[in-house]
C-alpha cells in the first residue's frame, strides 16, 4: 500500500485550530465569570505541547519533525490559572481588558490557521492537476 505524509501539516494545523477554538471558549467563560467571587481564569496550553512534540533537534527538517509527531499526544490542555495574584478583594483574577486582548489575539490566530489549512488543500489541488 502507498503511504504518504501528505496530510501531516493539515493534521497539525487542525489540532492547532481545535486548540484555538477551546481557547476561545475559555476566554468566553472568563468574561462570563468576571463578577463571580473566587473565579480563576482559564486558558489553554497548546503551544508548549506542540513545541515539545516538534522537539529541539537542529538536525531535522521541519517536514521530518512534523511527520514524526504523534497526533494522539498533541492535545490541548485547558487549565485554571491559580496564581495567587489578584488585585481584587473577591479573589477573582479575571481582567476584562486582558481577556479582550487575548480574545482578539486568538481570533487572529484562528483566522491564520484557517488560511493555512486552505492553502495546504490548495497546494494538494495544484499537485493533483
Whole-model pTM above 0.85?
no
In a domain, 129, yes or no: no
In a domain, 89, yes or no: no
Cell of 10: 493539515
Domain tally, the chain:
1
In a domain, 91, yes or no: no
The string of DSSP codes covering the chain is: -----TTHHHHHHHHHHHHHHHHHHHHHHHHHTTTSTT---EEEE-HHHHHHHH---SSS-HHHHHHT--GGG---EEEE---S--SSTT-----HHHHHHHHHHHHHHHHHHHHHHHHHHHHHHHHH-
Lowest mean pLDDT segment, chosen from 15-19, 65-69, 89-93, 116-120: 65-69
In a domain, 44, yes or no: yes
Task: Tell me which residue range forms the domain holding 23.
Answer: 8-84+97-124
Q: Do the Cβ atoms of 53 and 70 come closer than 8 Å?
A: yes
pLDDT digits (tens, 9 = 90+) for 47-94: 988 888 888 777 888 778 888 888 888 889 999 987 767 778 898 999
Amino acid at each position: 500500500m502507498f503511504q504518504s505524509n501528505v496530510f501531516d501539516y493539515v493534521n497539525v494545523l487542525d489540532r492547532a485550530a481545535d486548540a484555538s477554538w477551546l481557547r476561545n471558549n475559555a476566554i468566553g467563560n472568563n468574561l462570563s465569570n468576571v463578577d463571580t467571587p473566587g473565579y480563576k481564569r482559564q486558558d489553554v496550553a497548546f503551544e508548549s505541547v506542540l513545541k515539545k512534540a516538534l522537539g529541539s533537534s537542529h538536525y531535522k527538517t521541519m517536514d521530518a519533525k512534523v511527520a514524526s509527531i504523534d497526533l494522539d499526544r498533541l492535545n490541548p490542555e485547558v487549565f485554571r490559572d491559580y496564581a495567587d495574584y489578584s488585585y481584587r478583594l473577591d479573589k477573582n483574577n479575571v481582567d476584562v481588558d486582558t481577556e479582550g486582548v487575548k480574545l482578539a489575539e486568538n481570533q487572529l490566530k484562528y483566522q491564520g490557521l484557517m488560511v493555512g489549512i486552505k492553502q495546504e488543500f490548495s497546494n494538494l489541488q495544484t499537485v493533483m492537476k
